[in-house]
Structure 1
Amino acid sequence: MAVSSKKPDWKRVVVKLSGEALQGPQTHGLDEKTLDRIADDLVNAAELGVEIAVVVGGGNFFRGIQGADKGIERARADSIGMLATVMNALALEFAIEKRGWPARALSAVPMPSLCQPYSRQAALHQLGKGRIVILAGGTGNPFFTTDTGAALRGAELSCDAIMKATNVDGVYTADPKKEPTATRYERLTHDEAIAKNLAVMDTAAFALARENRIPIIVFSIAQPDAITAALAGEGKSTLVVP
């Protein structure tokens, strides 16, 4: 996919990137080619003048809910999952910097020997300097998903939109991998997404975005320059609006 030359509608966005998106064709861990492709996409988007924060998940290493299924208490399992997001953030930070673009990883779980602790002021400062900011550690608390973390950071940082990168090209009436007749929504409201129980993001994330009137762009991260295309309103996606 060619890099779009169209000026994006959004000045500042938060991209929600799952840990699974970074594992590529592997069953777990980090895939170098996939990591490099996503880093390229983020840099291309930043070159268009968009300020970008990335909330990264940790499911390619460990998901809290999975740990709870294995007998680890949920709060402790979620803490392990937060550590997994830091690993992904550091890898993505390095992949972006290899391309000559400045990046900064910030963690909601303080670990200053590895990366800068998250604060709203620190994140805004880094965004103002043109750096791509990678936000690790979720909300810093158990029982909240990184989807909710993305909605929270979107509100805190006055983002114009939340970009939800998934493995499908938008929000569908049903799971398109299980229901061949499922159709994709071009546009939805937050209320409709919650009422229809469309599980592309959890209800708390939808509700937080609705309360702060932040649009959500749901798109597939599977193709090169997917973020850049979604920013320009090109390619397939679903726009969820207040």
Structure 2
Amino acid sequence: MTRPAFKRILLKLSGEALMGPGQFGIDPATVDRMAGEIKQAQEAGHEICLVVGGGNIFRGLAASEQGFDRTSADYMGMLATVMNALAVQNALERVGVDTRVLSAIPMASICEPYIRRRAMRHMEKGRIVIFAAGTGNPYFTTDTAAALRAAEMSCDALFKGTSVDGVYDADPKKVKSAKRYDSVTFNRVLTDNLRVMDASAVALCRENEIPIVVFNFRETGNLARVLAGDGIATIVVNEENDHG
């Protein structure tokens, strides 16, 4: 399946992706590998911004289910994403990539506040921009933050790096006969609850016609392959663009 070339992309990484083989926290070797792949994509001519989750450190929703106040728990989760963003920034700068972290919650001592025009300027200058602290509001996930920033940055696509190679009609880790989609519509994702991203993020991408590309980022070299249209992935699009 040939996919359109995307110039400007937002790459959404789960916090769990930074754990590598561990059960918690940040694995430096894994983050270094990801930084190398992101650099490779940038060198291929793509403009890249990132949103990183915080589930490897703290998961607000899970904490609220155990008795934490939901708003406080979500803010704690946002702070976890700032820690991850700084780790990714550090890895990118070690491989010579100019990077900026912009946080939706101002914390001037360690990163810049999120200002859309500033973020756009950084991208125009060839920097990789990492958006931290989600949307800055409780009750919204980093998936929704990724969709929001992709729209604000006028991205051509939202790339969701996961541990599976696309979108399936059932959980491929539990159902051996699960079918993988090459292409699927936003409406199908929402109607069948295919768990690509949360519903508000999917709806936001649908309304702004931002394709979601789901691929396995744990496979070395896969980001470059998928960006080139060669790798295995699923693209989520509106009906009129669905050729799958």
TM-score normalised over the length of structure 1: 0.95
Corresponding position: 1:59 with 2:55: yes
Matches for 1:221-236 after TM superposition, within 5 Å: 221-236=217-232
> CA RMSD, aligned part only?
0.9
| SS class of match (1:15) | strand
| SS class of match (1:155) | helix
**Cα distance between partner residues in 2 of 1:235 and 1:49:** 18
**Runs (5+) with no aligned partner, structure 2:** 239-244
**Cα distance between partner residues in 1 of 2:116 and 2:151:** 10
**Cα distance between partner residues in 1 of 2:111 and 2:222:** 28
Q: 1:187 aligns with which of 183, 188, 200?
A: 183
**Cα distance between partner residues in 1 of 2:158 and 2:37:** 16
Corresponding position: 1:40 with 2:40: no
CA shift for structure 1 position 202: 0.7
Matches for 1:1-242 after TM superposition, within 5 Å: 9-242=5-238
CA shift for structure 1 position 234: 1.5
Alignment size in residue pairs: 235
**Cα distance between partner residues in 2 of 1:78 and 1:163:** 24
Deviations along 1:43-69, whole A, 9 cap, x unmatched?
000001111000000000001111102
CA shift for structure 1 position 236: 1.0
**Cα distance between partner residues in 1 of 2:161 and 2:79:** 21
**Cα distance between partner residues in 2 of 1:138 and 1:229:** 28
**Worse-superposed segment, 109-118 or 222-231:** 222-231
Deviations along 1:10-61, whole A, 9 cap, x unmatched?
1100000000000001000000110000000100000011110000000000
- Specify the alignment match of 1:3 in structure 2: none
| SS class of match (1:92) | helix
**Cα distance between partner residues in 2 of 1:232 and 1:144:** 32
- Specify the alignment match of 2:241 in structure 1: none
Give 2:14's aligned amino acid.
S
| SS class of match (1:68) | helix
**Cα distance between partner residues in 1 of 2:99 and 2:116:** 16
Give 1:157's aligned amino acid.
M
**Worse-superposed segment, 203-212 or 67-76:** 67-76
TM-score normalised over the length of structure 2: 0.95
**Cα distance between partner residues in 2 of 1:108 and 1:219:** 27
